Structure 1
Amino acid sequence: MTDPRDQMHRAADLAGVLVAAVPADALDRPTPCTEWDVRALLGHLVAVTARVAHIARGGSPSDLPTVLDAEPQGGFAAAYAAGVAGVRQAWADPAVLGATVHHPAGDMPGAAGATIYAQEFATHAVDLAVALDRTDLLDEEFLEQVLQIAVRFVPAERPGFPFGPPVPVAGDAPAHVRLSAWLGRSLPGRSLPAPAVEG
């Protein structure tokens, strides 16, 4: 099996490409993650890197914020890059994969936590790419892999999951569109009409 840390790091790096591509005048743009604009999403991504490293060391995610209150000194891109470096360091020992980590969804093996965070980093990379109109920066082949994991881990019926129901999209849509749709995000111009109800 593929080491889930590899996918988590690859997803974090992909998100980093988008974080670095955010122009200063785009911070107030909306994102497919409807509760956050670009500024808040950047603050969340930086916060997530700290939380991912923290749980690998035995900490609780509730010890740290889910989103930063303000832009960090030096900017979001530098803070995110430093955070990703911290994630790599914290997860370097393969023993963490079999250890119990405290994830926001509950206690689980580190391997499961890494898998979930790979999905989170990848999904937020897509959120930023759509908000910036820079989907050309996405790795569709990698996102196809993440989608297959998401389909296995996130059921279509999802009470208790932090996602809306799947959004119908064309089966031949790009992987980033289908990943977003599976996780309940409706991308502009990509969603299909809901099926007609007969009777």
Structure 2
Amino acid sequence: MTTQTAQDPRPMLARALDQAERQVAAVRPDELGHPAPCADYDVRALLGHVLSVLYKLARAGTGGDARGVPDVTEGVADDGWAGAFASARGEVERVRADDGLLDRMVQLPWAALPGRDALEAYTAEFTAHSWDLAHATGRLAGLDPGLAAQALEAFSEFAPPEERSEQGRFSPVVAVPEGADVYTRLAAYLGRRP
């Protein structure tokens, strides 16, 4: 049985995965070619990337090297994305149930981190990609603002604006009107044009 404390990132990861799973399940085959707001992806490629992120998290959490997982999983049937996500999420759920993961070092594509930090980073990534899918398919209603607030804080720490370029993982911050909602601010912080 796991003990969940204020320092345990797993409850927020579960919320982010729930949200991402709802977005993935809502995608219709006729939406797969829609452009996504992130780097040269359409919805199909974004779904493939989200699936790969699950595979990376599962591999890193079991002591493997996530750098060996491709950035985009291909070969999923048009109507198979929800099932593929659920299956990969099951692997992640088994890995995250291990309390030892929180303090064990894991190898991610960009760094070796304690498992706790890796789970927080992937929570932010799943939150951002949920917005990407919602924006690309017109399903922005119902996104969890608490997840976006946490993701914005996390990205502010590990992707500061001064380290951005058009060639990097994150584009420069985009200006948004004062009073913009938290998902709009998150997307703009990541260089998306909401």
TM normalised by structure 2 equals: 0.89
| Residue 162 (structure 1) aligned to one of 148, 156, 169 | 169
Alpha-carbon distance, 1:159 to partner:
4.9
Secondary structure in 1 aligned to 2:112?
Answer: strand
- Change in 2 beyond 3 A, CA 1:75/1:10: same
Distance across 1 between alignment mates of 2:77 and 2:96: 24
Aligned position for 1:178:
185
Secondary structure in 1 aligned to 2:161?
Answer: coil
Q: Is the 8 A contact 2:33 2:44 kept in 1?
A: yes
* Counterpart residue type for residue 181 of structure 2: P
| Residue 64 (structure 2) aligned to one of 30, 38, 59 | 59
Distance across 2 between alignment mates of 1:15 and 1:34: 19
List runs of 5+ in structure 1 lacking aligned partners.
Answer: 188-199
Secondary structure in 1 aligned to 2:179?
Answer: coil
- Change in 2 beyond 3 A, CA 1:2/1:135: farther
| Identity score, percent | 37
- Aligned pairs for 1:38-187 within 5 A: 38-72=43-77, 75-159=80-164, 162-187=169-194
TM normalised by structure 1 equals: 0.87
Alpha-carbon distance, 1:40 to partner:
0.7
1:35 aligns with 2:40: yes
Secondary structure in 2 aligned to 1:135?
Answer: coil
Larger radius of gyration: 1
Distance across 2 between alignment mates of 1:118 and 1:139: 12
List runs of 5+ in structure 2 lacking aligned partners.
Answer: 1-5
1:15 aligns with 2:20: yes
Aligned position for 1:191:
none
Secondary structure in 1 aligned to 2:163?
Answer: coil
* Deviates further, 2-11 or 165-174: 2-11
* Counterpart residue type for residue 172 of structure 1: G
Q: Is the 8 A contact 1:97 1:109 kept in 2?
A: yes
Q: Is the 8 A contact 1:18 1:137 kept in 2?
A: no
Q: Is the 8 A contact 1:57 1:90 kept in 2?
A: yes
Moved over 6 A (4+): none
Alpha-carbon distance, 1:73 to partner:
8.7
* Deviates further, 149-158 or 92-101: 149-158
Alpha-carbon distance, 1:183 to partner:
1.0
Aligned position for 1:4:
9
Alpha-carbon distance, 1:74 to partner:
6.4
Alpha-carbon distance, 1:142 to partner:
2.6
Alpha-carbon distance, 1:62 to partner:
2.4
Alpha-carbon distance, 1:9 to partner:
2.1
* Deviates further, 144-153 or 96-105: 144-153
Secondary structure in 1 aligned to 2:106?
Answer: strand
Length, aligned pairs only: 187
